[in-house]
Structure formats: C-alpha cells, structure tokens
Homo-oligomer: A and B are copies of this chain.
Amino acid sequence: MTAQARDATSLTSAVPVMSPDLIRQVDPGDGVREMSYQEAIREALREEMIGDPRVFLMGEDIGKHGGAFGVTRTLFDQFGGERVRNTPISENTIVGAATGAALVGMRPVAEIMFVDFSGLAMDQIATQAAKIRFMTGGQCSVPWVLRMPQGGGAGKSTAAQHSQSLEVWFASIPGLKVVLPSTPYDAKGLMKAAIRDDNPVVFLEHKLLYAFKGLVPDGDYELPLSRCDVKRVGDDVTVVASGYMVWHAMLAARILEAEGISVEVVDVRTVSPLDEETIGASARKTGRVVVVAEACRSYGPANEWAMVAIERAHDRLRAPIVRVAGRDSPIPFANSLENGVWPSTEDVVAAIRQVVGSPA
C-alpha cells in the first residue's frame, strides 16, 4: 500500500482533522497546561538554559526573529545574543562548531533551518560528530542536540527543497540518536532528555505539528531516548509510525474502532537507536503489522520497523506486513500533486483493513 496507489485527488492528507484528545498523555489538572508542540519545545529549551549554563542555542535567525517557525521566539530577549546566537549561513560549520563546543564541555543546541539543508552538513553530522567518540577510543563525547524541522503537508506548497523527511540519512549512521516527537508532551520530555544526553542527538520536529496542542506538565520531566511509546493499546493490529504519521494512525484507529477493529499504535518517537523490544512485543501480541512513514517509500525508515517485527515476531504474524509511505518523488509545489505525495489517514485505514483481511 503506497501513496501512489491511492486516489491522488483525496484531500485528507491536507486536512489535519486530528484533535488533541486523540492522544492524551497526562490528565488535566494543577501544574498541567495546554500548549503547542512549538511551545513545548521552547519551554524545554528555556528550562534547560536556566538550569544549565552549558546549554546554548546557535543557528540562523534564531535570535530576535525566533527562527523560521518562531520556536526560539522570546529566548533571545531572555538570554541574550551570546546564548541565543545567530550564525552565518554555514550549515556544516554550525554543526561542527557545536561539536567543538560540546567536546570542551558545552551542551549546544544547534539548529538547521530546514532538514533539507542538512545535505550541506552531513559530513559534520554523520562522519564527524557520530564517530569521534568511537574513533578516539572514548576519549571524548559529543553532547549536542541538532534541531531540524522536517516534513510537509497541508497544502503548504514549500516544494522540493523545504519539505523532505530525511530521518533515514541519520538513522542509518551508528553513533547518532534520532528523535522525532509526535506530541507536545513528548517534545518537551524528549528535548530535555536530548540536551542531557551525552551523545549527538538529531532532533527532528515536524513542521505541521508546531501548532498542534496537547497537555504538558509544568516543570521538569524527561522521557527516555530509545524507547518507543505505545500511544494506543489494541489487540488486532499494530501500527508502527512516527512524527506526524502517528496522528494518521490514531485517527485511523478511531475510525476503525467503530468497525470493531482494535488498533495498537506504536510511536517510534526515538527513531534510532531503535527500541526493537516494544515493536516486537506489540507485533507478537497482535500478529498483524502496518508500518507508516512520511518519507519516500523506497529505502525508507518504515522498512526497519517491519524487519524488526519479522525478526522478533515472525512466528506470530498472521498476515504479511504492509507499509504506507510517501511517494517516490521530489515534493511538488502545486497542490494537485502535493496532495497525493504523503500518506493520508485513508491510506492507513486501507492498510489496516488489508492486514486484518476486512474488505474496504
């Protein structure tokens, strides 16, 4: 099941009808506020900067301007230009300088404005930062976070060089941790963990999620890197997804609930190193697996989740695994083409129906 296969005129992928109560991770109450994914990231940055003088931010236009998506807005006013540092347009050097600062004990949070520009920085990300600790026999470590917005959709028409999902570039390189949160709660807790982690953490933020709201506790909490999160418990089929795709999965699950299909949703919120155990356990329980990723289908990240399910649950699988993924295409500008490029909720619904063997 691929994006190609479905009616490209469907508008579902362009209309995020997801509401925050699809995913409820904390109960409302004292010390819990509703905030957006973007606010949650900002809050994590702010709290970590207050708590640890080693933490600082660097990236293009993250100062007064607040970054291309406003994530760092207000931080410049609070912390000043030394700790919220506008850089020249020098992606490889932004990352490399973060590495250098990290090697001498700082905890930089660097930003590349769009993940699409990481092609300029892959050397410092994958060939230097990921490997220095290993190559030097553990003489050093590289505790940085690299924030990069990725993904597309909703008719935004940011076209081929501002819309990609590239987690497979990073996840295929040992030595990096790769995070892709799907909710405000996860974003805050994972950002805190990422900053405190002693490894280089690639922190991917989905652009369409920035405005999504959810409940987030005040103050300090950390979520473990390298664990998947079961966002919904179910019995009949496991959907493994990450980032924005988790919302398609949750919505699909709700839709199919009415038909009596019980869907478990495993959120790969830490893409790498992968928590194989949680995926394996869920696959063993349900015996049916759908994997969903926004990235292009061929050689995409969802393949890994499928392989893990096979390796850990093959004797329990009752149906072949089905993948849902982006079209193998550069991202087009025109809405008529953009609409079909990414998976939609219907794609996920159809894939689930396929594995449970019920007709559409």
Contact = CB atoms under 8 A, between A and B. Distances in A.
State the number of copies, please. Answer: 2
Interface stretch (A9-17, A32-40, A70-78, A172-180): A172-180
A332 to B, nearest CB: 8
A120 B124 CA distance: 8
A301 interface: yes
A360 B127 CA distance: 38
A135 B330 contact: yes
Interface string A304-339: 101100110011010011010000111010000000
Given A122-B122, A135-B159, A303-B306, A171 B274 contact: no
Interface residues of A, number: 52
A334 B172 CA distance: 23
Nearest to A159: B135
B127 A161 contact: yes
B174 A298 contact: yes
B122 A295 contact: no
A160 interface: yes
Contacts of A122: 118-120, 122, 169
A135 to B, nearest CB: 5
B131 A330 contact: yes
Interface string A153-178: 00000011100001011011111000
A126 interface: yes
A287 to B, nearest CB: 13
24 contacts: A92-B120, A117-B127, A119-B122, A119-B124, A122-B169, A127-B161, A131-B161, A131-B330, A135-B159, A135-B330, A168-B172, A169-B172, A172-B296, A174-B296, A174-B298, A174-B330, A299-B301, A299-B303, A299-B304, A303-B304, A303-B307, A306-B306, A307-B323, A315-B320
Interface of A: 92, 116-120, 122-127, 130-131, 134-135, 159-161, 166, 168-169, 171-175, 272-274, 295-296, 298-301, 303-304, 306-307, 310-311, 314-315, 317, 320-321, 323, 328-330, 332
